[in-house]
């Protein structure tokens, strides 16, 4: 009986001695850190705002808040609150990337429309790339109520630092009227996305196996492909004439006619990468499509956002965490 009591007393003394040791260690560590100027995280660990939580969520390392809440035996609402606090800390700690300001710079631009709070809002995205690099830096997007318009693009570019805007000499885009207007006013080189053109043509005259107009689709695709890539001017003019015949044929659809005539009028804008090989211009929209695709995926995982402020914060968090996007140019080698 006495032995068991002494054993119990020894265990308690050991336990409390261990706690006292930890307390003294923490006190000494805190004093040393304060003297050295280090920033100490205080408070219970689960109550602290951690940037890493929102970063893991943005990187898909936290696929489901519901599943994580069950694993932690907590509520989803509390976890969402913790995620919001982590996002806000990420926004306060991370800044937008410093945009370059040395010529020549290339701007890649596109817009995305979101429906929130009962209205449509357009986010105007601009990426800035040096001609000799394979990545582009993201600028803070401009948000405007309504659809994509020219005034929105003028405002978006005006919000760029003046030194960066003045160093831009080329614009890569989908050919929206607002973007072509900005390029013309600023006297920038214009490179239109080739993928969008081919996709529009394939939607009307597909070259694939089970297409109703396969033969005509193959001819159109071959003519357009040669115009986009060839350096033989005679072949280009011949193909343009053939496309004009197809567009003016009575059986052609209205959409196909509009696309072919528009392409024949502006085909030079799709070949700027050939005319200016030293700029290493991209022909496609891979960089900005990756940006917009990431945001769409984020909205899908979050099941949408109730307020514009929440949507804006999450888009900013995604872009600030990402900072830059892969953007390979087309290294055209003239013969």
**CATH label of the domain that carries residue 137:** 3.30.420
Residue 304 and residue 175 share a domain:
yes
Q: How confident is the model at residue 32 (pLDDT cuts 50, 70, 90)?
A: very low
Which residues, in sequence order, are CB contacts of 288 under 8 Å at separation 6+?
A: 108, 109, 110, 125, 127, 325
Residue 118 and residue 164 share a domain:
yes
Residue 54 and residue 172 share a domain:
no
pTM more than 0.85 = no
Pick the more confident residue, 39 or 174: 174
The residue from 241, 270, 299 where one domain ends is: 270
Q: Give the least confident one: 161-165, 245-249, 319-323.
A: 245-249
Quick check: is 73 in a domain? yes
Cα–Cα distances (Å) from 86 to 5, 6, 83, 274, in that order, read 49, 49, 5, 47
Residue 246 and residue 289 share a domain:
no
Residue 123 and residue 243 share a domain:
no
Quick check: is 152 in a domain? yes
Phi-psi region of 298 (alpha: psi -120 to 50; beta: other; left: phi over 0): alpha
Number of domains the chain is built from: 3
Residue 206 and residue 59 share a domain:
no
**pLDDT score recorded for residue 330:** 75
**pLDDT score recorded for residue 35:** 37
Pick the more confident residue, 205 or 79: 79
**Range of the structural domain that residue 289 is part of:** 97-193+284-335
**pLDDT score recorded for residue 39:** 46
The angle, 0 to 180 degrees and rounded to 10, between the axes of the packed helices 233-248 and 214-229 is 150
Residue 288 and residue 211 share a domain:
no
Sign of CA dihedral 206, 211, 213, 219: positive
Tell me what the mean pLDDT of segment 188-212 comes to.
Answer: 81
The C-alpha atoms of residue 274 and residue 140 are separated, in whole angstroms, by 31
The tokens for 28 are 């000494």
Query: H-type helices in 159-253, by residue range?
Result: 162-167, 177-186, 194-204, 214-229, 233-248
The residue from 26, 58, 93 where one domain ends is: 93
Quick check: is 153 in a domain? yes
Cα–Cα distances (Å) from 67 to 13, 46, 63, 72, 196, in that order, read 42, 18, 8, 9, 39
**pLDDT score recorded for residue 46:** 52
Residue 231 and residue 126 share a domain:
no
What is the percent of the chain with per-residue pLDDT over 70, rounded to a whole number? 81
Residue 289 and residue 232 share a domain:
no
Quick check: is 151 in a domain? yes
Residue 125 and residue 79 share a domain:
no
The C-alpha atoms of residue 278 and residue 132 are separated, in whole angstroms, by 9
Quick check: is 198 in a domain? yes
The residue from 240, 270, 300 where one domain ends is: 270
**pLDDT score recorded for residue 303:** 84
Give, for 70, the enclosing helix (H) or strand (E): helix 65-71
The C-alpha atoms of residue 163 and residue 275 are separated, in whole angstroms, by 26
Distance of CA 246 to the CA centre of its chain: 38
Tell me what the mean pLDDT of segment 242-271 comes to.
Answer: 86
Quick check: is 227 in a domain? yes
Quick check: is 254 in a domain? yes
Mean per-residue pLDDT over the chain, rounded: 83
Residue 245 and residue 296 share a domain:
no
**pLDDT score recorded for residue 220:** 86
Residue 186 and residue 105 share a domain:
yes
Q: Is 238 exposed, middle or buried (0-12, 13-18, 19+ CB in 10 A)?
A: middle
The C-alpha atoms of residue 30 and residue 252 are separated, in whole angstroms, by 79
Answer yes or no: are the C-beta atoms of 257 and 247 closer than 8 Å.
yes
**pLDDT score recorded for residue 1:** 57
Quick check: is 265 in a domain? yes
Q: How confident is the model at residue 109 (pLDDT cuts 50, 70, 90)?
A: very high
């Amino acid at each position: 009986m006495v032995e068991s009591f002494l054993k119990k007393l020894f265990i308690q003394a050991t336990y409390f001695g261990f706690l006292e040791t930890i307390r003294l260690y923490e006190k000494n560590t805190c004093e040393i850190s304060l003297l050295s100027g280090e920033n100490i995280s205080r408070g219970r660990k689960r109550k602290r705002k951690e940037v890493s939580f929102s970063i893991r969520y943005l990187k898909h390392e936290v696929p489901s808040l519901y599943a994580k809440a069950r694993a932690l035996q907590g509520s989803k609402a509390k976890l969402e609150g913790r995620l919001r606090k982590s996002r806000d800390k990420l926004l306060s700690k991370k800044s937008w990337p410093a945009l370059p300001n040395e010529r020549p710079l290339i701007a890649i631009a596109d817009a995305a429309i979101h429906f929130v709070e009962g209205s449509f809002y357009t986010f105007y995205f601009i990426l800035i790339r040096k001609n000799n690099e394979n990545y582009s830096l993201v600028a803070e997007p401009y948000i405007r109520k309504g659809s994509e318009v020219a005034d929105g693009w003028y405002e978006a570019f005006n919000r760029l630092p003046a030194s960066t805007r003045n160093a831009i000499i080329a614009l890569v885009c989908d050919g929206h009227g607002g973007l072509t207007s900005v390029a013309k006013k600023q006297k920038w080189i214009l490179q239109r996305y080739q993928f969008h053109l081919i996709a529009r043509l394939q939607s009307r005259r597909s070259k694939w196996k089970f297409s109703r107009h396969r033969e005509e689709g193959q001819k159109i695709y071959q003519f357009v492909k040669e115009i986009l890539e060839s350096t033989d001017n005679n072949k280009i003019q011949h193909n343009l004439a053939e496309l004009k015949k197809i567009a003016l044929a009575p059986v052609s659809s209205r959409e196909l006619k509009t696309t072919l005539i528009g392409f024949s009028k502006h085909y030079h804008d799709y070949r700027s990468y050939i005319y200016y090989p030293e700029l290493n211009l991209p022909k496609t929209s891979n960089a900005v499509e990756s940006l917009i695709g990431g945001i769409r995926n984020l909205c899908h995982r979050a099941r949408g956002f109730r307020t514009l402020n929440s949507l804006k914060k999450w888009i900013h968090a995604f872009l600030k965490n990402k900072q830059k996007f892969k953007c390979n140019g087309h290294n055209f080698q003239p013969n």
